[in-house]
């Protein structure tokens, strides 16, 4: 916008300068020509006056008077008689201007008082020609032709035009500087408002815009944008907290309900088996939906700052929460023993990612198997492994599993969002989620790699 504003204003100023400057340049050249014409007319008077005072007997003095004039004024002078012959020729450029002087003499004998100006910017090879016919004391008519060199006139006009051109460039430069300063003052708040609105569209946090810069109207606009950003941020926070709280509050009752329904299996007669199985499928689907809602509530807050967390504490908390679910399926979860490890992640991201991996591990592990959760510390990264003994995945499936909507070809439900959301959470924390084959090709090793604080480059 600033460039377009600058180009539009400079174009307008350039047009105004052209409309005013070009006629002024023409008038300047015409003025210089007029001054030179006036000087030439005076020269003609200085030349003719003493010759007109000559008597018939003094006529032989005319060549001397012409030569003296030519020497004193630096002009080429030619005198033609009424038969067209040159009576006297004097001056350094007299021979070079011979064609112009002959043409001017013919027009003078035809009764024209000739002053030939030439082009607006004179050609040094063509003089300013001043010619007039007079009858002298000897009774003959003579054409007096003065050729004034125009080289000096051309230099003068060029100097005037150069000054005018420099003034134009200076005016454009001053205009550009003023327009740029005005655009910074007037359009800067608009750019800040645009940046803020773009951040709102992407769901990012918005820095408050200054309301003390730019025109009053834009200050008011920025104040409204700030209030809009605060309102949107508050709505997003309330939405995220509602999703997280609702899913957390509903998850445990759903787990308990699922266990109770499973305990009712021996008491369901054959007529109710079909409805019983459908009820269990619906309960599993609802629980998966709640898990995804929790993950989405974290993705909504993806722009939170990265913080340091106690890794061992988080892993202990999440594995303990899933031990009960695993035990009901006759699956054991072995927890790690490491303590005091600190990693960098967004708030809640590791917890949600571990929930997805543990849920999948329990879902695909066979009964009476073991899920091993380990922590592998390093100088740059810390790896958290969730290893199960399920059917595992092919390399092609492992590559596709982290894309949105992918689901394995099995009887398990789900929307295919779990791994993709977990990957998004870990990646947004500066880490990496990889799906690796299990030991001896059995099961799956889901690895979360996070950065330790000392390696963060700010």
pLDDT single digits (tens) 335-380: 988 887 899 988 888 988 999 899 889 988 999 999 999 999 988 8
Within 13 Å, how many C-alpha atoms sit on residue 121's CB side?
Answer: 7
For residues 150 and 97, give the distance between their C-alpha atoms in angstroms, rounded to a whole number. Answer: 12
Asked if 351 and 314 count as a contact pair (C-beta separation under 8 A), the reply is: yes
Distance of CA 406 to CAs 236, 291, 390, 436, Å? 28, 16, 18, 17
What are the pLDDT digits (tens) for 78-136?
889 888 888 888 887 777 777 777 888 888 888 777 776 667 787 777 778 888 888 88
- 11: its two tokens: 């174009």
Which residues pair with residue 383 across a beta bridge? Answer: 376, 449
> What's the angle, vertex CA 356, arms to CA 265 and CA 338, rounded to 5?
110
- Report which of residues 238 and 167 the model is more confident about: 167
Residue 53 above 50 pLDDT? Answer: yes
Contacts of 32 (CB under 8 A, 6+ apart): 153, 156, 157, 160
Distance of CA 314 to CAs 332, 339, 346, 456, Å? 19, 11, 13, 21
Within 13 Å, how many C-alpha atoms sit on residue 42's CB side?
Answer: 7
Q: Which of 105-114, 224-233, 286-295, 377-386 tops mean pLDDT?
A: 377-386
Query: Comparing C-alpha atoms, which of 2, 25, 18 is closest to residue 172?
Result: 18
Q: Is the pTM of this model over 0.85?
A: no
Asked if 352 and 290 count as a contact pair (C-beta separation under 8 A), the reply is: no
Query: Comparing C-alpha atoms, which of 354, 357, 387, 362 is closest to residue 372?
Result: 387
Task: Say what percent of the chain tops pLDDT 70.
Answer: 79
Residue with tokens 């020729």: 89
Which residues pair with residue 342 across a beta bridge? Answer: 310
For residues 350 and 432, give the distance between their C-alpha atoms in angstroms, rounded to a whole number. Answer: 11
For residues 369 and 388, give the distance between their C-alpha atoms in angstroms, rounded to a whole number. Answer: 8
φ, ψ dihedrals at 81, nearest 5°? -85, 175
Q: Alpha helices of 203-272 — where are they, by DSSP H?
A: 216-263
Q: Please give the pLDDT value at position 245.
A: 62
Contacts of 202 (CB under 8 A, 6+ apart): none
Asked if 52 and 62 count as a contact pair (C-beta separation under 8 A), the reply is: no
For residues 138 and 56, give the distance between their C-alpha atoms in angstroms, rounded to a whole number. Answer: 5
Average of pLDDT values for 288-303? 60
Strands 370-377 and 332-334: parallel
User: pLDDT-based confidence at 203, cuts 50/70/90?
Assistant: low
For residues 311 and 338, give the distance between their C-alpha atoms in angstroms, rounded to a whole number. Answer: 9
Q: Sign of the C-alpha dihedral, residues 125, 126, 130, 136?
A: positive
Within 13 Å, how many C-alpha atoms sit on residue 371's CB side?
Answer: 32
Min mean pLDDT across 49-58, 301-310, 377-386, 443-452 is at: 301-310
Asked if 150 and 123 count as a contact pair (C-beta separation under 8 A), the reply is: yes
Residue with tokens 């305990």: 263
Contacts by residues 216-224 (CB-CB < 8 Å, ≥ 24 positions apart): 218/186, 218/189, 218/190, 218/193, 219/189, 221/189, 221/190, 221/193, 222/189, 222/192, 222/193
């Amino acid at each position: 916008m600033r460039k377009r504003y600058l180009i539009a204003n400079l174009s307008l100023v350039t047009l105004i300068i052209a409309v005013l400057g070009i006629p002024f340049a023409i008038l300047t050249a015409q003025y210089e020509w007029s001054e030179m014409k006036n000087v030439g007319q005076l020269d003609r008077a200085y030349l003719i006056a003493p010759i007109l005072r000559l008597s018939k007997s003094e006529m032989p003095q005319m060549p001397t008077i012409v030569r003296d004039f030519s020497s004193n004024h630096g002009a080429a002078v030619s005198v033609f008689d009424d038969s067209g012959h040159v009576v006297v020729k004097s001056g350094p450029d007299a021979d070079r201007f011979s064609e112009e002087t002959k043409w001017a003499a013919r027009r003078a004998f035809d009764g024209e008082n000739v002053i030939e100006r030439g082009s607006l910017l004179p050609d040094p090879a063509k003089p300013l020609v001043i010619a007039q016919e007079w009858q002298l004391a000897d009774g003959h008519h003579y054409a007096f032709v003065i050729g004034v060199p125009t080289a000096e006139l051309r230099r003068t006009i060029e100097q005037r035009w150069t000054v005018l051109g420099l003034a134009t460039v200076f005016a454009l430069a001053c205009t550009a500087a003023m327009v740029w300063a005005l655009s910074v003052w007037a359009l800067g708040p608009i750019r800040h408002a645009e940046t803020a609105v773009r951040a709102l569209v992407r769901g990012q946090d918005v820095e408050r815009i200054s309301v003390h810069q730019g025109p009053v109207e834009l200050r008011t606009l920025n104040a409204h944008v700030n209030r809009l950003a605060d309102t949107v941020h508050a709505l997003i926070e309330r939405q995220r907290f509602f999703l997280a709280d609702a899913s957390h509050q509903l998850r445990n009752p759903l787990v308990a309900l699922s266990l109770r329904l499973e305990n009712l299996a021996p008491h369901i007669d054959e007529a109710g088996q079909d409805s019983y199985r459908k009820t269990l499928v619906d309960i599993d689907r609802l629980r998966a939906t709640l898990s995804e809602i929790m993950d989405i509530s974290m993705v909504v807050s993806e722009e939170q700052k990265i913080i340091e967390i106690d890794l061992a504490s988080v892993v202990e908390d999440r594995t303990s929460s899933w031990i009960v679910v695993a035990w009901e399926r006759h699956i054991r979860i072995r927890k790690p023993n490491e303590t005091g490890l600190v990693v960098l992640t967004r708030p809640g991201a590791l917890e949600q990612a571990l929930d997805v991996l543990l849920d999948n591990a329990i879902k695909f592990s066979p009964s009476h198997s073991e899920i091993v959760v380990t922590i592998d510390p390093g100088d740059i990264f810390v790896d958290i492994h969730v290893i199960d003994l399920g059917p595992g995945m092919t390399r092609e499936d492992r590559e596709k599993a982290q894309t949105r909507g992918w689901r394995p070809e099995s009887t398990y439900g789900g929307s295919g969002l779990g791994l993709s959301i977990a990957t998004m959470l870990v990646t947004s924390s500066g880490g990496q989620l990889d799906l690796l084959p299990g030991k001896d090709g059995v099961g799956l090793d889901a690895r979360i790699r996070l950065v330790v604080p000392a390696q963060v480059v700010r």
